[in-house]
Amino acid sequence: MRLSNKVALITGASSGIGKESSLLFAKEGAKIAVVDINKTEGQKVVEEIKSIKGEAIYINADVSKADDCRSMIEKTENQFGKLSVLFNNAGIMDSRDDDSQITEEDVWDLTMAINLKGVFLGCKYGIAAMRRNGGGSIINTASFVGLMGAATPQVAYTASKGGVIALTRELSVIHARENIRVNALCPGPLRTELLMKFLDTEAKKNKRLIHIPMGRFGEAKEMAQAALFLASDESSYTTGTEFVVDGGITSAYVTPE
């Protein structure tokens, strides 16, 4: 198995990419810390992992809070003895997020607190654990919009994901010789609850789909497969990347006339 003897902490693990990655990583031999603010759904993921003979615990944490992030790392180490993989995946896409004239300050602040500060705090405490482990792999969920911008305005989300990419690059350089790899996973548009709530009309969906050469939204399971590569030793020479899995959108991203 590709993650034998590894311990993975995954935030935003009760749904979407986080859930699919938790299940896949467990199937590949990792022990999983399922981290989310949704206790009911998080516990369901733990039970699914146990049903396939995997090992997992649920940890309730708000990634925008330093104490919660410190605690999630401590609980993972206390339960499993180490931290090998940190997948900073938790994020929001607020339906009120729009262009700079419409988006309110509270939407901006909340988006930054979870999407960007949450990654910073995860790394702040996770890197210390990885030093104790002699290395590890950090995966930060960014987005293609952090590279290209979005056809449907969402300035706070786009800026937060651009920040994740920049943070990932810097951390990868700082910690490369400590055997700690840091990569940004940049999904294209996905058929997840998060995006479908934002693209809540057929017109909005079609405005996004028109840019995707494959002509469809991606699936959370496809992102989990990409994350598995970054988590595994197969990516041992991969750090500081924007790992783009987007159906071709960043290769053909133009505004239609």
Catalytic residue ranges: 157
Q: What is the dihedral of CA 57, 48, 142, 87, to 10 degrees?
A: 30
Q: How far apart are the C-alpha atoms of 139 and 175, rounded to whole Å?
A: 14
Residue in the structure block whose two tokens are 């940049």: 186
Q: Tell me which residue of 50, 51, 73 sits closest to 61, measured CA to CA.
A: 73
Cα–Cα distances (Å) from 31 to 55, 79, 82, 105, 199, in that order, read: 5, 10, 10, 39, 35
Assess contact for 257 and 197: CB atoms under 8 A: no
